[in-house]
Amino acid sequence: MTAVLPPPTTRPAPPSALSIARARVGLELRLFFRERQQVVFSFAYPVVMMVIFGAVLGGDVLPGDVPFPQYFLAGIAATGIMLTSFQAVGTAIAAERETGQLERLQLLGTPPVAYFGGKAGQVLVTTAAQLALLLPVARYGYDVPMPVDLAHWLAFAWVAVLGALAGTVLGIAVSAMRGSAQSVTTSVSAVAIVLQFFSGVFFAFGELPGWMQRVAALFPLKWMTQGMRSAFLPDQAAVAEAAGSWEHGRIALVLAAWVIIGAVVCVRTFRWRRADG
């Protein structure tokens, strides 16, 4: 009698990098909201700065007859994006690497691109939530007008998305710096503070020294802030910009270039373990 062999079993195909990235977005959001200090800082900082500067300088008028709170909203919105992307991502990854969380992900076979995608998705969601909190404070607390039409809202949206993606990949890149998580946090925070002063967040950009303007033009925050001004300020205010216009094409080009540059750097320098560990 011939024995009947059971049909061969087939192993299910491993999940794709895209499906892993989608799953990691939810996980990254849960991990983000577990860090209460980070959540409070990311969401409260833009609002607190809006309240402080609005109370102190709310009566000032900047070039183009723009009230200070209206001008400042653009800069603080861009700063908030930088905090939830560049600063939060850079410090979080450094901490995950130091505690061995990244090494465990590597052992589980997580593709780096899926890990990056999870971080990017988390940043986009938290950025949207942060802006949804900030804009009503500006609108109802300081009478700051919102974008006047669909074109201005679209400018606000693409600047926010490109800025968040640029900040995310640059945050992943700087997390590879040598040293402890604390030293990475200190370095990233210092860079973020300096860029805020150089990029026209707290002052009218045209009033900054020329050398500061040239340095700021090398980094994304200046262009994010300028793009946000194009969404929140009246069209005639563009004459106060360095080029006399909003330069939407250049803003998009610079931010997209930083996304590409940051992604290349991430791929080449990302490590699951500390280099000196």
CA-atom Rg of the chain in angstroms:
22
Supply 2's token pair: 């011939």
- Maximum Cα–Cα distance for the chain, whole Å? 98
What tokens does 59 get?
A: 């009566």
Burial of 21 by CB count in 10 Å (0-12 exposed, 13-18 middle, 19+ buried)?
buried
Closest among 267, 262, 253, 201 to 228, alpha carbons compared: 201
pLDDT in tens, 94-148: 999 988 889 998 888 889 999 999 999 999 999 999 999 999 999 999 999 999 8
Distance (Å, whole) CA 176 – CA 119: 15
pLDDT at 1 over 60: no
Residue with tokens 């991430």: 266
User: What tens digit of pLDDT does each residue of 170-221 get?
Assistant: 999 999 888 888 888 899 989 999 999 888 888 888 888 889 999 999 999 9
pLDDT of residue 80 exceeding 70, the answer is yes
Q: Where are the beta strands (DSSP E) in the chain?
A: 61-62, 66-67
Contact of 255 with 157, CB cutoff 8 Å:
no
How sure is the predictor about 152, in pLDDT bands with cuts at 50, 70 and 90?
very high
Joined tokens for residue 102: 């990244």
Bridge partners, 67 (sequence order): 61
Map out the domains of the chain as residue ranges. Answer: 17-269
pLDDT of the residue at 6: 62
Percent share of the chain, pLDDT over 90 = 50
Beta bridge mates, 66: 62
From the number of C-beta atoms within 10 Å of its C-beta (0-12, 13-18, 19+), residue 190 rates as exposed
| CB 270, CB 264: distance < 8 Å | no
CA atoms of 252 and 117, how far apart (whole Å): 21
Burial class (CB in 10 A: 0-12, 13-18, 19+), 236: exposed
